[in-house]
Amino acid sequence: MPKGLKKETKKKGRPKKKVKKVEIEEVKEEKKEEELKTKEKVPYFEGVGRRKTSIARVRIFSKGQKEILVNKRLYNFYFPTLELNQIVVAPLRKMNCLDRFRVLAEVKGGGIHSQAEAIRHGLARALVLSNPDFRKRLKKAGFLTRDPRMKERKKFGLKRARKAPQWQKR
C-alpha cells in the first residue's frame, strides 16, 4: 500500500441519521420568536442574596398570582420544615405585605438552610428597591446584613483548615 493512503474501515452498528443543521436552526429561531411574542414585559424588582456559598436571585412582581416560587416550586414544598418557611417569608411578614407580591427566587449552592437565608437577604434587598421606606425596619431586623461567615479553606500540610496531623516523638 502506498504511503499517505489510509485503509477505509467500516464501523459496525446502526447508520447515523443525517439531519440538516439548517432546518434545526430555523425551528429554534421560530420558537425563540414565539416565546418573545408571548412573554409580556412585567416590571419587577430584583435583589441578590448571599449566605455562605448559596446565591439567590430574587424577583418580586406586583402583578400576577400572589405566590412564592423557589426554583419553579412552591416555597413550602422546596423547604420542608416550618422554620425554613418562616425564614423565607420573614421580610414580607415584617413589612405586612405577604399578599402584595409575587416572588420568584432562583437559588443555587450551599445547603438548604443557607439557601433559605440567602433568599431572605435577596428578598429584603428587592423590597427596599420597591419602597425605600422599608429600609429602616429591614435593617433593624438584620435582613439587609450579609452574613460573612464562611468555611475556612484547607491549608497544605494540615488535615483540615487548622487540624494538624498527630505529632510523633519517634
pLDDT tens for each residue of 126-167: 999 999 999 999 999 999 999 999 999 999 999 999 999 999
Number of H helices, E strands in the chain: 5, 5
**Fold that domain 45-141 belongs to in CATH:** Ribosomal Protein S5; domain 2 (3.30.230)
What's the CA angle centered on 23, arms 19 and 25, to 5 degrees?
110
C-alpha cell belonging to residue 152 = 475556612
| Packing angle, helices 112-130 and 82-94, rounded to 10 | 10
Judge contact between 57 and 105, C-beta under 8 A. yes
- With a cut of 70, say whether residue 19 has pLDDT above it: no
Domain ranges of the chain: 45-141
Mean pLDDT rounded to a whole number for the chain: 86
| H-helix or E-strand spanning residue 8 | none
pTM for this predicted structure: 0.73
C-alpha cell belonging to residue 90 = 420573614
